[in-house]
Amino acid sequence: MSLSVLVLERPGRWRLAGLSFVIAVSLLPTLPLILAIRENAPWATLNVPGFLPLLIKSLAISFSGAAAALVLGLCKGVFFSLYEYRAKRLFLFLFIIPIMVPPLLWSVSFNNLSFYFRLISMHKTVCLVFITAMVTLPLVAASTVSACQTLTSSQCEAVRLTAGETRLFWLCLRFAFPPAAVAACLGAFGMLASPGPAMGLGLKTAISEILVSFSALYDMKLASAQCVMLSASTLALASFVLLVSGKRPMELLASSSKRLQPSFQGKMSTLAFVFSLLCSVLLVLIPCGALLFPAFTLPDVSLLARTLSRTLPYSLLYSAGSALVALFLGFALAFFMGRFNLTRTIGMSAMLVIFSLPPSLTALGFVYSAAQAPPWLDFIFRSPISVCMAQGFRLFPVPALLAARYFASLPPSWAYAAEIQDISLKRFSFKVLSPLACKTLLTGFLLVFLLSGADVATVLLIHPPGGQNLPLAIFTIMANAPRGQVAQLCSLYLALATIFLASISAIWNRGKTWKSYQASY
């Protein structure tokens, strides 16, 4: 018996069941460690009075960075949506760079800045806020662009004619604010879970305290309890943000009508160009330059070649594999979320919490599970699959958001028409839904591909012996290798990611087929 197409449009308890299943699967690896805290619960040793101020401080830093990213990302997104200006695509690429690089390296970059250019020496907390803003800004800008796409050309023209360009800009900012705020939260929570930048700057935060519990005290229970506390506060904050933002964040997921087309608008286009240029220089080019500057020494070509040949296959494998896992889980979650407020709220809250979990928690959970599992399951638990799964389970919220937006953009009438014409769900999915999901699939794949490369902690803990990827190789030598060598490897990594991005872009732009029906969709 085949499923009806109308299942795409129907509510039901099965959606809740499906959501619960997907969320449970993604949290399953963390279960061994979470369960461990039940025995001889370490709440007494949690030292809440000691940990709580750190938690508050970390939240304050993350949200300050997110707030800065929100302001800049909103402007960037609105400029991108409304106006055509010079070098628009180049700026778009530059803005993606911060999420391509492991966050710790940005703290290295800032340390280099103060090392080479002593005048530029910022307070550590300011540096961490800056790094959070850098990494969060692309997410905010992307969600702003998404939100602006729900506006129609005629709406914007009407405001232009009656109230002027500035008023239009301001209205768009206000319009895109709620979903952009949610995206800023996502970025903030992601940085909360990343110990690298804080440790690299020598700043104490909640996540660095968790790292101490793991690495210095070897107290798994305490670390797990701290993670639970971190996630609980994240969930509380996420709920608050969603509540305050109202229904509008769902417009991150809303349907699109006729797309707003950017146009040249004289002074505003010039302003957009100048703003993008300033942001690119301050938030991307200078930190990149500081990171890569030491690379300008004579390279040890044989070492670079050996490192690359050893790590490149695994780099591609882990990134591609985790992207695949994340895509499957993300699309599944989005499918179960559907168009319904309850399931969307549950889904989005779960995504925010999962994104805030420290990667080490999932990774160590995998290691424990592998040790308990029978040897015949080693092909899953002790192979590259485990790395792909661990990273995919953590990063699937990214394609889930994109997929949710895609599903929400499908007119319900399509499913109705298919049902009336007796088209099975399978055939409808293959012939109609999948090709149209290409852009979403590709974007989700790309984002997870890049983000997984930046996740060193998971790879370190789970990779099969001999299966290092390039970012991990950089991290294992950076302590004692010459700065130039580390910078050269970082340059190599960035160059490879850029080539990959460019290839995907070239594939996307090919073909008459896309343009001919994109006009109507």
CB nearer other proteins, residue 292 or residue 320 = 320
Q: Which lies closer to other proteins via its Cβ, residue 266 or residue 465?
A: 465
Report d(CA 443, CA 371) in Å as an integer.
35
Binding-site residue total for other proteins (CB under 8 A)? 99
Dihedral of alpha carbons 188, 106, 471, 73, sign: positive
User: Given candidates 29, 179, 190, 196, which one binds other proteins under the rule CB under 8 A?
Assistant: 196
Least Cβ distance, residue 322 to other proteins (angstroms): 10
Q: Which residues contact 312 (CB under 8 A, 6 or more apart)?
A: 470, 496
Minimal distance in Å, beta carbon 40 to other proteins? 15
Residue 480 contacts other proteins per CB under 8 A: yes
Site for other proteins in 113-172 (CB under 8 A): 115
Among 95, 368, 407, 493, binds other proteins (CB under 8 A): 368
262 DSSP assignment: -
Burial 78-102 (b: 16+ CB within 10 A, else e): bbbbbbebeebeebbebbbbbbbbb
Which of 69-77, 85-93, 259-267, 433-441 is the region at the interface with other proteins (rule: CB under 8 A)?
433-441
184 near other proteins, judged by CB under 8 A: no
Closest CA to 11 of 412, 432, 398: 412
Give the residue, chosen from 153, 166, 476, 503, that forms a contact with other proteins under the rule CB under 8 A.
Answer: 476
Site string for other proteins, 86-105 (x = CB under 8 A): ------------------x-
Touching other proteins, residues 401-420 (CB under 8 A): 411, 413-414, 416-420
Binding residue for other proteins (CB under 8 A) from 142, 180, 456, 489? Answer: 456
Interaction of residue 422 with other proteins, rule CB under 8 A: yes
Which among 212, 169, 260 is positioned nearest to 51, based on CA atoms?
212
399 binds other proteins per the rule CB under 8 A:
no
Query: What's the half-sphere exposure (Cβ side, CA atoms, 13 Å) at 98?
Result: 30
Applying CB under 8 A, the span of 88-96, 214-222, 258-266, 397-405 interacting with other proteins comes to 214-222
* Least CB distance to other proteins at residue 356 (A): 17
Among 86, 157, 202, 342, binds other proteins (CB under 8 A): 202
Determine the Cα–Cα distance for residues 460 and 393; give it in Å rounded to an integer: 16
* Shortest Å distance, C-beta 56 to other proteins: 15
Binding segment for other proteins among 135-143, 160-168, 231-239, 509-517 (CB under 8 A)?
Answer: 509-517
Decide if residue 4 touches other proteins (CB under 8 A): yes
Nearest to residue 52, comparing CAs of 60, 309, 97?
60
Among 166, 174, 435, 503, indicate the residue that binds other proteins (CB under 8 A). 435
Q: For other proteins, what does the binding mask look like between residues 320 and 359, x meaning CB under 8 A?
A: xx--x--x--------------------------------
Give least dist CB 65 to other proteins, A.
20
**Cα 179 off chain centre by:** 15
Of 21, 34, 20, nearest to 362 by C-alpha is 34
Nearest residue (CB) to other proteins, 111 versus 125: 111
CB 145 within 8 A of CB 252: no
* Spatial distance between the Cα atoms of 187 and 331, rounded to a whole number of angstroms: 20
Binding segment (CB under 8 A) for other proteins, from list 140-148, 170-178, 314-322, 399-407: 314-322
Q: Would you say how long the chain is, in residues?
A: 521
| Cα→Cα distances 262→152, 156, 185, Å | 11, 10, 27
Site for other proteins, residues 269 to 308, rule: CB under 8 A: none
Q: Which CB, 119 or 479, lies closer to other proteins?
A: 479
The answer to the question of residue 199 lying near other proteins (CB under 8 A) is yes
Query: Whole-angstrom Cα distance, residue 250 to residue 329?
Result: 20
| CA separation, residue 278 to residues 138, 145, 207 (Å) | 15, 19, 32
* CB neighbour list of residue 244: distance below 8 Å, 6 or more residues apart: none
Restricted to residues 34-63, the positions that interact with other proteins (CB under 8 A) are 50
Instruction: For residue 438, give the H/E element and its range.
Output: helix 438-453
Residue 410 DSSP label: S
Spatial neighbors of 265 by CB under 8 A, at least 6 apart, are 82, 83, 165
**Helix or strand (DSSP H, E) at 24:** helix 13-27
Q: How near is the Cβ of 483 to other proteins at its closest, in Å?
A: 8
Q: Which stretch binds other proteins (CB under 8 A): 87-95, 138-146, 148-156, 457-465?
A: 457-465
DSSP 150: T
**Residue 96 identity:** I
CB-based contacts of 134, cutoff 8 Å, min separation 6: 69, 98, 106, 283, 284, 287
**Of 116 and 240, which has the nearer Cβ to other proteins?**
116
Q: Mark the segment that binds other proteins (CB under 8 A) among 71-79, 175-183, 246-254, 508-516.
A: 508-516
CB nearer other proteins, residue 45 or residue 166: 45
1 is an interface residue for other proteins by CB under 8 A: no
Nearest distance in Å: CB 15, other proteins:
17
Q: Please identify, among the stretches 128-136, 139-147, 149-157, 371-379, the one whose residues bind other proteins according to the rule CB under 8 A.
A: 371-379
Render 336-349 in DSSP notation, one character per residue.
HHTT-HHHHHHHHH
